[in-house]
Chain A
Amino acid sequence: MIENLSDRRWRRLGITPLLLLYGLIAILPVLNLFWSSFFSIDWVAGAEQREFVGLGNYARIPSDSFYGVGAANTVFFAVTTVVIQMVLGFALALVVSRSKIRSNAYRTIFILPILIPGIVVGAIWRLMFDVDFGVINQVIGLVGIEPLAWTARAGLAMLSIIVVDIWHWTPFVFLLLFAGLQGLPEDVFEAARVDGTPFWRELWCITLPLMLPTLVVTLLFRIILAFKVFDEIYLLTSGGPGTATEVISFSIFRTFFIADDVGYGSAISFTTMFVIALLIVIALGVQARARASQ
């Protein structure tokens, strides 16, 4: 029976599971979020009590002491970590690709941080950052520096999180950029070398333009992941001290699951989602226009 379906039926059948999953687990929750954002929702004796508040939840956003700071911190965190990771990863990839080392041992080690759970990364650094017995304070103690509360001091907590993220994701940037460099046409570089082109000129005029697509995609990947940061912060600082390491994901988590403020949580979730979708659509539009004008 299934053998004799027409091509058209086949096409539709093939795409049905995808539409089902997207419809039920991606689109329906967004609609639910939008609808819930107009209500004040409380739990009384295990039953949901809804009260219509119109745009009241959205009106609360500007005076929220966490969400605004969280958004600003997320942008700061994303820009800082991604820029450092791109520079470090690209420098390393350049040096290694020029030297013809092809070691699988190195590749194996570089994949390790990408594949282990983010929460394990948090646990590792929690042990190392500990004020009393952390190995980092032990080491700086050897040169006479007093122990520092890495994750609990306002000026240091964000720096600590940034260090952890750089450790976590620079290898990923390296692997992608290294694969990109490997795929570049060898003869262009041969010609440049024969002509005696200096290193910086070769980098600026040949390598960077050729690598541009890979660089852009790697950058995009990293920015997306940096905006989602949650696991390490949950385990290391929980957004603190104060709001020093508060990020968007943590603000939303706090509102839904610690403050149990479902209506308001829906409003900030929907706002976040809307802003991100808008940015993506604008970016795609700009890209399409740039392509059309070429």
Chain B
Amino acid sequence: MKRGAILSHLMLGLSAFVILLPFGWIVLSAFKRQIDIVTSKVIFTPVMLNFDELLFSRSSTFLDNFTNSLIVAGASTAIALFTATTAAFSLRQKAWAGWVPTVLLTFSMIYYMTPQMTLVGSWYQLFRAIGLNNTLFAIIITHATVNLPMALWLMNSFVADAPRELEEAAVIDGCSRLKTFTHVILPVIVPGLMATGVLMFVFSWNEFPVALALTTKETATVPVSIAKFAQDFEVKHGAMAAAATLSTIPAILMIIFATKYIVRGLTSGALK
């Protein structure tokens, strides 16, 4: 092997080690008794105690939190994808005056760059005023909108890349706009939809400040429940570690099945 290859294997290996070590530590902690954690034992007897308590004890709400997170992430992803795709298809039409796409994309950029925290108080007030506070609907619609700028950029670039000749040929042959969309454009942008969808799902699943402000015990998502373990009078380290471990399941599944799409989404979002 050449010196360069050895050096880069060394650097990559070291980086991978530094990245994985903290993960390993929290996964190990999830299988420890509280006493093994606070006496920082390296060798211990693994127990399922924390998972048992988290999943099956009557006082635990973790399964509800997990269901809430699945509903919120799934529904907000669907809404963001639908909205961004139809908008991108509309913006693709040349008949729009040039300022329309510019204004929409610039507004999206400013909205995306603003910290969500500046709007969280206002969302809370408004949802409360119309009686939708503490509903999953409130957080679904908010997550969809928070993720919309990113979805719009990604879908806009994927839709813009779809070949125009096909679409024009279909229109000339008398195909309606709806049919052109569903039969000509949609099949071409499926990989783009997958890439965007995977990212939207993960962003919503991971989102904390909005969920913290807009949810109560019944509607809390997984990140909110993990934060609660750390705030109890007596910090439940084991339960916190177990909840944190379980909360990474969607991310792990996506890494196994959709790494290709994640990398495409991340890089085409940044490199276009």
Residues of B within 8 A of A84 (CB): none
Residues of B within 8 A of A172 (CB): 266
Cβ of A144 within 8 Å of any chain B Cβ, yes or no, is no
Would you call A273 and B118 a contact (CB within 8 A)?
Answer: yes
Residues of B within 8 A of A4 (CB): 176
Would you call B15 and A3 a contact (CB within 8 A)?
Answer: no
Cβ of A107 within 8 Å of any chain B Cβ, yes or no, is yes
The CA-CA distance from A15 to B87 in the complex, in Å, is 4
Interface on chain A toward B: helix, strand, loop, or mixed SS?
helix
Given A230-B117, A272-B118 in contact, is the A95-B226 Cβ separation under 8 Å? no
The CA-CA distance from A269 to B176 in the complex, in Å, is 46
Q: Which chain A residue has the least Cβ–Cβ distance from B10?
A: A95
Interface size class on chain A is: 35 or more
Would you call A124 and B270 a contact (CB within 8 A)?
Answer: no
Cβ of A193 within 8 Å of any chain B Cβ, yes or no, is no
Within 8 A of B (CB), among A230-253: 230-231, 234-235, 248-249, 252-253
Given A106-B16, A109-B20, A127-B25 in contact, is the A252-B271 Cβ separation under 8 Å? no
Given A18-B148, A22-B148, A116-B248 in contact, is the A99-B8 Cβ separation under 8 Å? yes
Interface size class on chain B is: 35 or more
Cβ of A75 within 8 Å of any chain B Cβ, yes or no, is no
Cβ of A111 within 8 Å of any chain B Cβ, yes or no, is yes
Would you call B84 and A18 a contact (CB within 8 A)?
Answer: yes
Residues of B within 8 A of A281 (CB): 110
Q: Which of B20, B79, B90, B241 contacts A15 (CB 8 A)?
A: B90
Within 8 A of A (CB), among B1-39: 2, 4-5, 7-9, 11-12, 15-16, 18-20, 22-23, 25-26, 29, 37-39
Q: Which of A29, A108, A132, A235 contacts B38 (CB 8 A)?
A: A132
Residues of A within 8 A of B177 (CB): 5, 7, 10
Would you call A36 and B25 a contact (CB within 8 A)?
Answer: no
Given A101-B8, A280-B113 in contact, is the A117-B226 Cβ separation under 8 Å? yes
Q: Which of A17, A29, A108, A176 contacts B119 (CB 8 A)?
A: A29
Would you call A14 and B89 a contact (CB within 8 A)?
Answer: yes
Number of A-B contacts (CB under 8 A): 285
Would you call B251 and A116 a contact (CB within 8 A)?
Answer: yes
Would you call A253 and B227 a contact (CB within 8 A)?
Answer: no
Q: Which of B206, B223, B227, B255 contacts A108 (CB 8 A)?
A: B255
Residues of A within 8 A of B117 (CB): 228, 230, 248-249, 252-253, 269
The CA-CA distance from A124 to B21 in the complex, in Å, is 10
Cβ of A289 within 8 Å of any chain B Cβ, yes or no, is no
Cβ of B145 within 8 Å of any chain A Cβ, yes or no, is yes
Q: Which chain A residue has the least Cβ–Cβ distance from B246?
A: A120
Given A21-B83, A21-B144, A95-B7 in contact, is the A228-B116 Cβ separation under 8 Å? yes
Cβ of B95 within 8 Å of any chain A Cβ, yes or no, is yes
Residues of A within 8 A of B141 (CB): 21, 25
Cβ of A277 within 8 Å of any chain B Cβ, yes or no, is yes
Pairs A–B under 8 Å by Cβ, sample size 18: A5-B177, A10-B93, A11-B90, A13-B90, A14-B89, A17-B83, A18-B83, A92-B12, A99-B9, A101-B5, A116-B247, A118-B208, A120-B248, A124-B25, A127-B237, A272-B115, A276-B110, A280-B109
9 more CB-based (< 8 A) A-B contacts, given A7-B177, A108-B255: A10-B178, A29-B119, A32-B125, A101-B5, A111-B262, A127-B26, A132-B38, A256-B121, A272-B115
Residues of B at the A interface (CB closer than 8 Å) are 2, 4-5, 7-9, 11-12, 15-16, 18-20, 22-23, 25-26, 29, 37-40, 79, 82-84, 86-87, 89-91, 93, 95-96, 104, 106-107, 109-126, 141-142, 144-145, 148, 152, 176-179, 202, 205-206, 208-209, 212-213, 222-223, 226-227, 229-230, 237, 240-241, 244, 247-248, 251, 254-255, 259, 262-263, 266-267, 270-271
Residues of A at the B interface (CB closer than 8 Å) are 2-5, 7-8, 10-15, 17-18, 21-22, 25-26, 28-30, 32-33, 36, 92, 95-96, 98-101, 103-104, 106-120, 122-128, 132-135, 138, 167, 171-172, 174-176, 179-180, 183, 213-214, 217-218, 221, 224, 227-228, 230-231, 234-235, 248-249, 252-253, 256-257, 262, 265-266, 269-270, 272-273, 276-277, 280-281, 284
Q: Which 8 A-B pairs have the closest CB atoms?
A: A14-B90, A29-B122, A115-B251, A25-B145, A256-B121, A99-B8, A117-B206, A249-B117
